[in-house]
Amino acid sequence: MALNTAQSKEAGRVPLPINSRKDTWWIKPLLVFLGLSTFGIYATWRAFENRYYSWGPYLSPFYSPFLVIHIGHFAISPALLILPFPLIFRMTCYYYRGAYYRAFFWDPPACAVEEPAARKQYTGESRFPFTIQNLHRFAFYIAVIFIAILAADAIIAFDFNGHFGMGLGTLIMVVNVLLLSFYTFSCHSFRHLIGGALNCYSCSRSGKTRFRIWQRISLANERHMLFAWLSLFTVGFTDLYIRLVSAGIIHDVRFF
């Protein structure tokens, strides 16, 4: 059986099909596809719903900061104004980039697997519009502002009509902002800005300090993918919980 049937884009290459993997390589891109699509559909629906976003001291992270802009009689959902920022942050995140290039663009769907459509010319992130990915650091700066706002929301969530209290919603909001912080501060751009850009750490006192911070951030950065998924889940779950309580479908559990 002659095998010289498949690709040979370059003279002299092995006359064999590129993909001879027989394992379940497709599971990972499928899970990523389902995970991101589910979140995308849920978040879009919630952004347009424009109600059930708060209850007692709780405010959904999709609707914070709560800015209402009116055009004539029509009030634009605050979520529509807010969600683009976290969306851009995640879209330009190094982890998510790799994940959606695989799961959505199939470029490649998995390692050592043939790509479905042979593109005429591959340029990766070297040509517009993908060069925009290089601006990820600016999305990071904005994300830090959002962390501060969500932290303030989590603190307010302890204030039940002037009494210090705590409900399940409070706990969920606190956990959410913590995981979002881990995700945000394990960012590759932050790791670079805080110390990665330096070549000689020992050359100055500030360099030594930056080295120590860089080491810590690097440890967190190794788990960036984990934080990316956990925080995506908690931010959606926080919104869902507040929506259910606000719509009267479930009751908040009050601890004290």
Partner 1 sequence: MDKVILKVFRGDSNGGTEQDYEVPTFEGMVVLDAIHYIQINLDSTLACRWNCKAAKCGSCSAEINGVPRLMCKTHVSDMAANGRPIVVHPLKTFPVIRDLVTDVSWNYRNSEKIKPLQLAPDAPKPLVMQQMDVDRIQEFRKCIECFLCQTVCHILRNHNVKEQFYGPRQLIKLANLDMHPYDALDRREMIRKEAGVGFCNITKCCTEVCPEHIHITDNGIIPLKERVADEYFDPIQHLIRKLSGADKKKK
Contact mark string toward partner 1, 151..190, x via CB under 8 A: -------------------------------------xx-
Cβ closest to partner 1, residue 3 vs residue 71? 3
**Residue 211 touches which member of partner 1, ligand FES, none, C-beta under 5-8 Å by kind:** partner 1
Query: Which residues are bridge partners to 74 per DSSP?
Result: 71
Taking the complex as a whole, how short is the minimal distance between the CB of residue 136 and ligand FES, in angstroms? 6
Please state, in angstroms and rounded to a whole number, the distance separating the CA atoms of residues 111 and 215.
Answer: 30
Q: Which residue has the tokens 């590129």?
A: 18
Please state, in angstroms and rounded to a whole number, the distance separating the CA atoms of residues 51 and 56.
Answer: 14
> Counting beta carbons within 10 angstroms of the beta carbon of residue 113, is it exposed (0 to 12), middle (13 to 18) or buried (19 or more)?
middle
User: Is 38 among the residues that bind partner 1 (CB under 8 A)?
Assistant: no
Alpha helices in 109-201 (DSSP H): 136-156, 168-185, 188-191
Query: Parallel, antiparallel, or unpaired: how do β-strands 159-160 and 69-71 relate?
Result: unpaired
User: Is 98 among the residues that bind partner 1 (CB under 8 A)?
Assistant: yes
User: Is 11 among the residues that bind partner 1 (CB under 8 A)?
Assistant: yes
Residues contributing to the site for ligand FES (CB under 6 A): 93-95, 136, 140, 187-189, 224
DSSP structural state of residue 62 = G
Task: Summarize as ranges the residues that interact with partner 1 (CB under 8 A).
Answer: 1-4, 9-16, 18-23, 94, 97-98, 101-102, 107-108, 111-112, 114-115, 118-119, 122-127, 130-131, 134-137, 188-189, 191-192, 196-204, 207-208, 211, 221-222
